[in-house]
Amino acid sequence: MSHPELTIHTDLGPLKLPAGSTLADAVERVLAGTDRDPASVATAVNGGFVARGARAQHVLADGDAVLCFSPITGG
């Protein structure tokens, strides 16, 4: 019996995750092997900003486009 998976699209290419994965799970996987801290990046799903505190509750769907980027600061 196979485990259900979903595929999301990232700036690093497609990423397979278990069904029911959250944005927090995806950010962890995308940043694995880098020196970037998940708290240091901003995130968007399908073009919509997702706040850091909402990542663990944001369940991803197959085909979602996930972007991790450096927030822009200034004034």
Q: Is residue 28 part of a domain?
A: yes
Q: How many domains in the chain?
A: 1
13 within domain boundaries: yes
Residue 38 sits in which domain range?
A: 5-69
Q: How far apart are CA 5 and CA 19, in angstroms?
A: 5
Residue 75 lies in a domain: no
With respect to residue 74, please indicate whether it lies within any of the assigned structural domains: no
**Strand segments (E) across the chain:** 5-10, 13-18, 42-45, 48-50, 66-69
Residue 55 dihedral angles phi and psi, to the nearest 5°:
-60, -40
Which tens digit of pLDDT belongs to each residue from 30-51? 999 899 999 999 999 999 999 9
pLDDT tens sequence across 4-35 = 999 999 988 999 999 999 999 999 999 998 99
Q: Is residue 15 part of a domain?
A: yes
In this prediction the pTM is: 0.89
CATH number at residue 45: 3.10.20.30
